[in-house]
Amino acid sequence: MFFDRYPRFYGTSRTAPSSGRLNLRYEAIFAENSDVFEGARVLDIASHDGRWSLAALASGAKSVIGIEARPDLVEHATKSLAEYGYGTDRASFVIGDVYEVLSKQKFEVDVVLCLGYLYHTLRYNELLHYIRQADPKHVIIDTQARSMIGADPLVYLVQEKVDWQGNAVSDVFTHENLVLTGRPNLNAVQLMMGCYGFDTERISDWAGLVRDNPTLEGVGDYAAQRRMTIRFTEQRP
């Protein structure tokens, strides 16, 4: 499977490192959306250890810029991509708070990846404003909620401790060790994206991936529809 060719990523993060989960997420995010990556300039929001930046490049992207607040993860990303043949001419990473970086630097890209980040923030207007300014043709979001399915657009509030790698990082709104975050369901995500000029283009077939790969573990949240992968496209006049 995909990450078997890039085994460094099985050990560079404490967040969801199981091979089954990583590889099926690759299938849902990249293999099912391969048409948008060829020659694309990609912005990887909360790029973690660079796993998805590499996947974008391996899927045909021209270049990737990752934004990640944790310096140790950026160090892993830089080393891993260099080892696998992607230098700074193809992949670069910015260390810093997502909102601070987006407010100070202007990006012009074709695809935005927002994978595993939307449920670690409540600053949706700010985030989507900056994504809109980058003028992408496509945005791919992978996110979770208590249940992604529901008639009403709902955001479930969660408080997260900022000292764990898989949680939100400290920002200007952090109180002591806690930050308030939200987990929007599918209708809420679609409502927000529509407000900023993006239509739902496709939802990845997680039911089929789980059915066709019964021996792969670590994807129970997708199987139970608590998590989804959604591709949005820029609205046309």
CA distance 213 to 5: 19
Q: Residue 131, CB half-sphere, CA atoms under 13 Å: how many?
A: 30
Residue 169: what pLDDT? 87
109's CB contacts (< 8 A; 6+ apart) are 40, 41, 42, 43, 65, 134, 135, 136
CA distance 78 to 88: 8
Tens-digit pLDDT profile for residues 75-132 = 999 999 999 999 999 999 999 999 999 999 999 999 999 999 999 999 999 999 999 9
Is this model's pTM higher than 0.85 or not? yes
Could you tell me what percent of the chain has a pLDDT over 90? Answer: 90
Question: Beta strand pairing status for 111-115 and 138-144?
Answer: parallel
* Mean per-residue pLDDT, 47-54: 97
Q: Is the pLDDT of residue 14 over 90?
A: no
Instruction: Look up the domain containing 78 and give its range.
Output: 2-234
User: What CATH number is associated with residue 39?
Assistant: 3.40.50.150
The partner residues of 93 in beta bridges, in order of sequence, read: 66
* Mean per-residue pLDDT, 1-14: 93
Tens-digit pLDDT profile for residues 167-183 = 888 888 888 899 999 99
Residue 235: what pLDDT? 92
Q: Number of folded domains in the chain?
A: 1
CA distance 180 to 148: 19
In the chain, what is the straight-line distance between the N-terminal and C-terminal CA atoms, in Å? 40
Q: Is the pLDDT of residue 166 over 90?
A: no
CA distance 165 to 203: 28
Q: Report in angstroms the alpha-carbon separations of 28 from 84, 106, 227.
A: 22, 29, 12
